[in-house]
Amino acid sequence: MSVSILDNIKGRFGFGCMRLPMQGEEVDIEETKRMVDAFMASGLNYFDTAHVYLSGRSELAVKECLTSRYPRESYVLADKLTSELFSKEEDILPLFEKQLKCCGVDYFDVYLMHAVDRHIYPQYENTRAFEILSDLKQQGKIRRMGLSYHDSGEFLDKILTEHPEIDVVQIQFNYVDYEDATVQSRLVYETCEKHGKPIIVMEPVKGGGLVKLPEEAQKIFDDLNARTGHTYSNAAYALRFAGSFPQIAMVLSGMGSKEQMLDNLSAMQPVQPLDEAEKEAIQQVTEVFRGLHLIPCTACHYCTDGCPMQIQIPDLFAVLNAKNVFHDGIANYYYENSLTVGGHGKASDCIECGHCEGICPQHLPVIELLKQVSEVFDKKA
Ligand code: SF4
Ligand code: SF4
């Protein structure tokens, strides 16, 4: 039996609204409505958004596609307090009210302090965010309060010891990060378990990085499917990995199409835990990844809004990964004709202002990594 966050949550698989289908710069509302309908029809009801997702468009799409079309008690909605959007205590309540309005609701089921790590934690402490969220919970405007978290198990232990009022923790958890020295998925999981906190999983497919696998890793899953007669996709194995742990109450997936959603649902509604042979295959795939030393960017895009050179940082990392893993010749084409045009800077245009590094939840040395991108793709320039 897994733990539970709220009685009215159905299932253990949630709709992450950070990578909704797009038409140009705007959310594809009709496709999103179809996805919401398919999700609800499957018997699930957990939705996760944030004001910063899709530069404000995610919350508005949630209103248009979900909250204006379904009764309030039929779905569970999670939103977040993001540190970049407030600097002092007085800013928090107006921001919260604005978020309720954007989403078209008068309470959030789950409300999380966003992307907490050792650098941002003092901001939440100094602005009395913990007390303010506790008050909102007393008033019924929040039903559960929590953290979305990106740091070590040890630091989380300190936070949960100082703030036992935290109800739930959202963590990055996937098979590649499970023993990763920086992300520490296992240690963070064990810390939540020690404090008895239910866990919400984000990035179970590592921002899509566990969908298209290197040839050697793909062969491991292909051989497994051939032996067992199953047809699980790579994403399905990654989601089922997260769903196999008892302290995990909810696994979120940021789905960008109905097709992707149906694939995810086939593995997660209901959750189908991994058997021993599947666990062994995942271990082997993890070893393949370890040998590749890829840039562990999850494509969350938190860094891009404030980049003065409008460098499409995660996309540049993705092309470098693609080139290194798949020896992908088309990567050069994308770099030159798609990713660095229309006002978007090349990797070599970085002025080293440091904005991106201050905000990256993966703590990536973006400036140094962009130099590597530049080395490979800007050579001819
Ligand atoms: S350090 Fe470079 S990539 Fe990062 S925000 Fe500044 S200009 Fe953009
Ligand atoms: S570099 Fe960091 S902040 Fe930017 S998209 Fe990647 S993981 Fe997110």
365 lines ligand 1 (CB under 6 A): no
Six-digit token string for 77: 């909605």
Q: How far apart are CA 191 and CA 231, in angstroms?
A: 34
Q: Is the pLDDT of residue 380 over 60?
A: no
277 neighbors 224 (Cβ within 8 angstroms)? yes
Which atom of ligand 2 has the smallest separation from the CA of 359? 3
Q: Which residues of 48-81 are buried (b: 16+ CB within 10 A; e: fewer)?
A: bbbbbbbeebbbbbbbbbbbeeeeeeebbbbbbb
Which residue among 356, 362, 368 is best mutated to probe the pocket of ligand 2, counting the most ligand atoms within 8 A of its Cβ? 362
- What does residue 98 show for φ and ψ, rounded to 5 degrees? -65, -40
Q: Which domains does the chain have, with CATH numbers?
A: 13-290 (3.20.20.100), 313-377 (no CATH)
354 lines ligand 1 (CB under 6 A): yes
Entry field: residues in the chain: 381
The beta-carbon contacts of 4-8 under 8 Å, at least 24 apart in sequence, are: 4/198, 4/249, 5/110, 5/144, 5/167, 5/168, 5/198, 5/200, 5/249, 5/250, 6/76, 6/109, 6/110, 6/143, 6/144, 8/45, 8/73, 8/76, 8/109
1 band by pLDDT with thresholds 50, 70 and 90: low
Classify burial at 259, counting beta carbons within 10 Å of its beta carbon; exposed 0-12, middle 13-18, buried 19 or more.
exposed
> Looking at residue 182, what is its pLDDT?
73
Six-digit token string for 316: 């540049």
143 neighbors 108 (Cβ within 8 angstroms)? yes
Which atom of ligand 2 has the smallest separation from the CA of 366? 1
Ligand 2 environment, Cβ below 6 A: 297-303, 313-314, 359-360, 362, 364, 366
What is the Å distance from ligand 2's center to 19 Cα? 14
Q: How far apart are CA 344 and CA 368, in angstroms?
A: 19
Please name which ligand lies nearest the alpha carbon of 351: 1
At 205, which amino acid appears? V
Give per-residue pLDDT as tens, 180-222.
877 889 999 999 999 999 999 999 998 888 998 989 999 999 9
What integer best gives the mean pLDDT of the chain? 94
Q: How far apart are CA 336 and CA 360, in angstroms?
A: 25
Give per-residue pLDDT as tens, 296-349.
898 898 999 899 999 999 999 988 888 887 666 677 877 887 788 888 999 999
* Ligand 2 atom 6 nearest Cα: 297
Give the predicted TM-score (pTM) of the model: 0.85
Radius of gyration of the chain (CA): 20
Please spell the DSSP secondary structure of 158-205, one letter per residue.
HHHHH-TT--EEEEE--TTTTT-TTT-HHHHHHHHHHTT--EEEE-TT
Q: How far apart are CA 319 and CA 343, in angstroms?
A: 19
Segment among 69-78, 87-96, 299-308, 364-373 with least mean pLDDT: 299-308
What is the Å distance from ligand 1's center to 193 Cα? 37
Q: How far apart are CA 213 and CA 216, in angstroms?
A: 8
What is the Å distance from ligand 2's center to 304 Cα? 8
Strand partners, 14: 252
Which residue among 367, 369, 373, 378 is best mutated to probe the pocket of ligand 1, counting the most ligand atoms within 8 A of its Cβ? 367
268 band by pLDDT with thresholds 50, 70 and 90: very high
Six-digit token string for 66: 């979900």
What is the Å distance from ligand 2's center to 363 Cα? 8
DSSP state of 297: -
Check whether the bond before 273 is cis (ω within 30° of 0). Answer: no
Give per-residue pLDDT as tens, 98-154.
999 999 999 999 999 999 988 899 999 999 999 999 999 999 999 999 999 988 899
